[in-house]
Amino acid sequence: MIEFGHAVGMKYATVGSLPKEMLQARASVLEAAERFNAAAERMKSEGMFIGFHSHGPDFQPLDGETPWDILFSNTEPEVVMQLDIGNTLGGGADPCLYLERYPGRARTVHVKDHSAADKEALAVGDGDVDWTRVFDLCERLHDPEWYVVEQACEAYMPMECAEISLRNLREMGR
């Protein structure tokens, strides 16, 4: 992966998800944390980072914590937290809580909205996310290099959703 990363100019190697069964036991999440730490150590001297992208199951209770908390409280600060704002909210968690809890780790952030009433992703700015607070926390505590607008909207055709998201982000001063 390091060789490939150098060839294509990749700075962040983000793991999209862990197998479902790994999220069901504290020991397996801790094993994943060890693997992330080893990868982060190896990649650090190459100017690259390993990261993990959030999904709803990452925030379901596991032995009094969440898999997300187990993972990030047991990994080095070089392990990047790619918080998907909509997925986090859809998993029943407050994304702002995690932005506050792990400062400096959200170097890339997935900008996606979510509606609890509709149980779906919407155009950015049309759902339940408090974007003013999210962007404030990101910029004060994380200095993200990338905001990635994830196109997961089901309410509109893809280009229409992209246009609405762009318009809403511009209205937010983004």
In this predicted model, what pLDDT tens digit does every residue of 9-60 receive, in sequence order?
999 999 999 999 999 999 999 999 999 999 999 999 999 999 999 999 999 9
Gap between the Cα atoms of 29 and 18, Å rounded:
9
Looking at the predicted structure, is the pLDDT value of residue 66 above 90? yes
Residue written as token pair 């980072």: 49
Looking at the predicted structure, is the pLDDT value of residue 156 above 90? no
Query: pTM of the prediction?
Result: 0.93
Task: Please say whether the beta carbons of 115 and 155 come within 8 A.
Answer: no
Which pLDDT score is estimated for 118?
Answer: 78
Which CATH number is 2-171's, of 2.40.50.140, 3.40.50.720, 3.20.20.150, 2.60.120.10? 3.20.20.150
Which pLDDT score is estimated for 122?
Answer: 85
Gap between the Cα atoms of 136 and 13, Å rounded:
25
Which pLDDT score is estimated for 37?
Answer: 98
Gap between the Cα atoms of 76 and 63, Å rounded:
22
Which pLDDT score is estimated for 97?
Answer: 98
Gap between the Cα atoms of 139 and 168, Å rounded:
19
Which pLDDT score is estimated for 1?
Answer: 87
Q: Could you tell me the strand order of the sheet in which 12-15 lies?
A: 12-15, 49-53, 80-84, 108-111, 146-149
Q: Name the strand (E) or helix (H) holding 40.
A: helix 26-44
Look up residue 59 and give its two tokens. Answer: 């925030």
Which pLDDT score is estimated for 154?
Answer: 77
Gap between the Cα atoms of 119 and 72, Å rounded:
27
Q: Average model confidence (pLDDT) for the chain?
A: 94
Looking at the predicted structure, is the pLDDT value of residue 105 above 90? yes
Q: Helix (H) and strand (E) counts for the chain?
A: 7, 5
Looking at the predicted structure, is the pLDDT value of residue 155 above 80? no
